[in-house]
Amino acid sequence: MSTVQEIEGAIASLSDEEFEAVRAWIWDREIVRDAAVGRLDFLAEEALQEHGAGTTRRL
C-alpha cells in the first residue's frame, strides 16, 4: 500500500472535528507558503488602494 493510500484511509476514518483540524492545518500551511512567495501581495495592494481612495470603513 502506498503512503498516499494510507493517508487517504486515515483521513477517511477521522471524526468530523478531526477532519476539520487537518483541513485547517493544510489551509494555514498553504496561506503561509503563498504569502512567502508573494502570491497574496495583490490583496494588500488592493486594500491599500481602497483605503487611499477613502472607500474603507473602520472595523
Report the distance separating Cα 37 and Cα 13, nearest Å: 34
pTM above 0.75, yes or no: no
- 40 secondary structure, DSSP code: T
Q: What is the pLDDT of residues 49-59, one digit of tens each?
A: 999 999 999 98
Whether residue 56 contacts residue 50, with contact meaning beta carbons closer than 8 Å, is answered with yes
Q: In degrees rounded to 5, what are phi and psi of residue 54?
A: 80, 20
Domain residue spans of the chain: 14-59
Q: What is the pLDDT of residues 4-58, one digit of tens each?
A: 999 999 999 999 999 999 999 999 999 999 999 999 999 999 999 999 999 999 9
Report the distance separating Cα 55 and Cα 12, nearest Å: 45
